[in-house]
Amino acid sequence: MLKIAINIPIVGKEEITSVTSILKNGVLTSSSNLGGQHVQAFEKSAASFVNSKYAIAVNSGTAALQAALYALDIKKGDEVLIPSFTFIATANAVVSTGAKPVFVDILNKNYTIDPDDLEKKITKKTHAIIPVHLYGNVAIIERLSEISKKYNIPIIEDSAQSLGSTYKGKHTGTFFEMGCYSMYPTKVMTAGEGGFVVTNNKNLRDKLLMIRNHGMVHGYDTRMFGLNLRLPEINAAIATVQMKKLPKFLKSRANNAKLLSKLISDLEVVLPIERKNENVNWYLYTISTDKRDKLLKKLNEKGIGAVSYYSTPIHKTPFYKLKIKLPITDLASSNVISLPIHPNVTQKNIEFIAKIMHEIL
């Protein structure tokens, strides 16, 4: 039976050659303030790609969020506003600092944080906002900027799913104080495991370098709280190669998304649409339908790796279990389904997906 995964890492000879070279060399990581040779090379390429002054590599997207929160000195008693409709890491990173995540509803059309609900939930304890550019969709930047300035609250962009997405030509992750990215195997590019933070603020960059390395600058001179969040040289080398391939990956995703939209435009489903001035990376091609469960079951039976992200929003997970009203979050969690459009998905695959969807709907 045909198997079409929702997302897969796409690696080739270049990555293998680079990793083999590091293994032979024997320098697998570096505890220096600036990191190893490959970490620095990757950071340079990442900063260049998103047009940011600085990029600081860490060992996961979650670590990127943690490091950014530590850099803002978020601590116990503080509140951080986040959407509930996202991966659990966004909330867990906040909890790891001792702060309280306050959950905000989302917008119906692009699944990003609702600025109106966000503003209603600001209190004197609110010390940061983390909008998530979910599925690659760009959050409502203008309104977030107005709110940030009005209440003097810093914003950390969770760009784990939106590397390559832009708004008015500017990359997600670069609009506010810091942007956090993931390089997990199923993202638009991978390091195996890894993440990075971008910023234009040198003070924040210097703090982030210390935070990822036990708060040290030179040897055992810990100057602030930090952890081992370092990215190993092997992962950095993979990421450097992947960064060169990223434009090609993104173009392939965009082509697949365009074709799929064309082939299923006659169905009674809500298709993903780019807003004016928005260019999404098509990390997850996500549709909405009240027949979600039936569609998901049938697609999976046919070998199509469709997935529902996120059928259980964070506030309803056993760990958080909060009785709060987030109506659009609840609606989305019941109706969304993501379809495979990654670079290894062929035109024949897309046509097959569309054919099966027509049979079902």
Cα 69 to Cα 256: distance, rounded to the nearest angstrom? 36
Does residue 44 register a pLDDT over 60? yes
pLDDT digits (tens, 9 = 90+) for 238-285: 999 999 999 999 999 999 999 999 999 999 999 999 999 999 999 999
Cα 243 to Cα 266: distance, rounded to the nearest angstrom? 36
Instruction: Report, as an integer, the average pLDDT of 116-145.
Output: 98
pLDDT digits (tens, 9 = 90+) for 141-187: 999 999 999 999 999 999 999 999 999 999 999 999 999 999 999 99
3-state helix, strand, coil in the chain (%, to 5): 40, 15, 45
- What average pLDDT is seen over the chain? 97
**What is residue 1's predicted lDDT score, i.e. its pLDDT?**
54
Contact 337, 287 (CB under 8 A): yes
Cα 108 to Cα 272: distance, rounded to the nearest angstrom? 11
In the chain, which residues fall in CATH 3.90.1150.10? 246-360
Does residue 46 register a pLDDT over 80? yes
CATH of domain 246-360: 3.90.1150.10
pLDDT digits (tens, 9 = 90+) for 229-248: 999 999 999 999 999 999 99
- For 49, residues 6+ apart whose C-beta sits below 8 A from its C-beta are 171, 243, 246
Instruction: Report, as an integer, the average pLDDT of 35-43.
Output: 97
**What is residue 2's predicted lDDT score, i.e. its pLDDT?**
62
CATH of domain 13-241: 3.40.640.10
Cα 186 to Cα 316: distance, rounded to the nearest angstrom? 25
Percent of the chain with pLDDT over 90: 99
**What is residue 141's predicted lDDT score, i.e. its pLDDT?**
98
CB atoms within 10 A of CB 36: 23
**What is residue 321's predicted lDDT score, i.e. its pLDDT?**
94
In the chain, which residues fall in CATH 3.40.640.10? 13-241
Full-model pTM: 0.97
Q: What is the residue type of 194?
A: G
Q: Quickly list DSSP for 38-105.
A: HHHHHHHHHHHHHT-SEEEEES-HHHHHHHHHHHTT--TT-EEEEESSS-THHHHHHHHTT-EEEEE-
**What is residue 157's predicted lDDT score, i.e. its pLDDT?**
99
pLDDT digits (tens, 9 = 90+) for 286-335: 999 999 999 999 999 999 999 999 999 999 999 999 999 999 999 999 99
Instruction: Report, as an integer, the average pLDDT of 120-142.
Output: 98
Does residue 205 register a pLDDT over 80? yes
